[in-house]
Amino acid sequence: MNRTRRRVVGSLAAATLILTLGSISGAQATDELPIDGDVIVGDFDSGEIVGSGEPGLQALLAPTTGAGYAYTATSPTISRSYGDFTVQLVSSSRVDSLRAALQASANDINANGGASLSVSTTTVSTWPARPAAGTIYLRVDGRDSCGAAAPGTWAGCATTWIGRDDSGLGVVQAGQIWIASVAVDYTQAQQQHVLTHELGHTLGLAHYEPAFNGEYQVMHPSKYDATTLRSGDINGLRPLYQNSVSVRSQVQAMYSGLLGRSADDSGMGTWSAQIAQHGTAATARSMMSSTEYRTRVINNAYQKALGRSADSGGLSTHLRSMANGLTEQELHVTLWSSDEAWQQAGKNTSTWVTRLYQGVLGRTPSAAEVNNWVPQVNQQGRAAVARNVLRSVEHADQYINAQYQLLFARNADASGKATWRGLVQTGQQAEVTVSLMNSAEFRQRAITQFG
């Protein structure tokens, strides 16, 4: 049976918080919860719930330990996470008063490459028995949701669902978090600690008790020192995220959209590390600075303006120019205003305007349009007119639509066009691509296509 385990991975104790505040000295937290009755074993692939107390379950509690972190399970060995999670608040007493701290936790985890968490702005009423992949549900509960622990002895607890990938390695799929009602009265910093700790569990981290780099980690079972992720917590989360379904799918989708091919192993390693460390937008910009991408752009521009691929001299000249800041749009301007394009138009201004329209806008200009542009070519030159057409609303909308088709497989809606038109009209069309790649829609589509 291809089994996936869900386990209660422990709690933070309210008693420990009191200790931190200094009012009770020496109080001992009840931290790890009893195993039997708390562990639900589910088969993620078939949806079968096979019950608790399965032989070998204890092995799950012997975590894989790394530099300042430990993973929740050894069987299956966790190798990556889903990566992209929606954190969904479920209707419960005062749950909305956790929102500020929850958003701070999500921002911290997102900024440090631990996952891509998006906190839903709505609150739902249903607490799913089994959350869908890519979701983490959270609610406030005063009862013993985490198992047998008595109210007042815990601040939060979490479960994680671990699926298997094709090679049998564990993939963190989804999670549930219970926050004790007592924790809602904590300061926002303390709430953030509890939430980051529990999110850490749902993302695959177990407790880590020793100090690392001279400090206790968020994943310490009872010390509230860390409000934000510490270096060991990040050491644990980042590799899971770097190898996540989301990040690997994004790299494949970037290769497909920008380079027109699949990612090789070395490229996958390089670019997934970049996304985990620097985010999708910076990574997209970086890939768009590659020689491979720019070569495609240059050849495409040559085809449109001159009906041929770039010769080696032209290619190296334009690669140099792009490395020095020449934009894609100005590359097109350069080629359309070249002597070669002029000769192809028979050195005739009307013909040149007609060819420019056909190449840039995909249609033949009206007589009025030709009559409008011919004197402008004579007064301002071919480059100025080519730039005008490339920056027209008509071309901007076509360009945006083509990017939507390439990256989202749909037409741009009116609001999308309105949002991005200004960038094309000011020569920053590459930023349209970057922004579209840095969207939830791109990530979700990437997972659908390549996950």
> What is the contact surface with Zn ion in residues (CB under 5 A)?
10
Least Cβ distance, residue 394 to Zn ion (angstroms): 58
Least Cβ distance, residue 182 to Zn ion (angstroms): 16
- Of all residues in this chain, which one has the CB nearest to Zn ion in the complex? 10
Least Cβ distance, residue 32 to Zn ion (angstroms): 8
Are the C-beta atoms of 400 and 422 separated by less than 8 Å? no
Q: Which is nearer to Zn ion, 10 or 451 (CB)?
A: 10
Query: Count of CB atoms within 10 A of residue 242's CB?
Result: 20
CA angle 301, 306, 308 (to 5 degrees): 80
Least Cβ distance, residue 183 to Zn ion (angstroms): 13
- Where does 262-326 have alpha helices with state H? 265-287, 291-306, 312-323
Q: Which is nearer to Zn ion, 235 or 329 (CB)?
A: 235
Beta-bridged to residue 117, according to DSSP, are 85
Least Cβ distance, residue 58 to Zn ion (angstroms): 18
Helix (H) or strand (E) holding 249: helix 245-254
Q: Which is nearer to Zn ion, 10 or 236 (CB)?
A: 10
Residue 230 CA: distances (Å) to CA of 114, 214, 266: 11, 10, 29
Q: Which is nearer to Zn ion, 101 or 356 (CB)?
A: 101
Exposed/middle/buried for residue 191 (C-beta within 10 Å: 0-12, 13-18, 19+) = buried
Closest by Cα among 166, 363, 305, 383 to 373: 383
Written as one string, the DSSP assignment of 63-111 is --B-SS-BBS-TTTTEEEE--EEEEEEES-TTGGGGHHHHHHHHHHHHH
CA angle 116, 200, 282 (to 5 degrees): 25
Q: Angle at which helices 188-202 and 99-111 pack, to 10 degrees?
A: 50
Q: Which is nearer to Zn ion, 10 or 134 (CB)?
A: 10
Least Cβ distance, residue 107 to Zn ion (angstroms): 21
CB contact set of 158 (below 8 Å; sequence gap of 6+): 8, 9, 175, 176, 177, 178, 198, 199, 201, 202
Q: Which is nearer to Zn ion, 221 or 359 (CB)?
A: 221
CA distance 337 to 340: 8
Least Cβ distance, residue 243 to Zn ion (angstroms): 23
Least Cβ distance, residue 200 to Zn ion (angstroms): 8
Q: Which is nearer to Zn ion, 12 or 273 (CB)?
A: 12
Least Cβ distance, residue 215 to Zn ion (angstroms): 17
Q: Which is nearer to Zn ion, 33 or 288 (CB)?
A: 33
Closest by Cα among 241, 201, 135, 163 to 249: 241
Q: Which is nearer to Zn ion, 10 or 83 (CB)?
A: 10
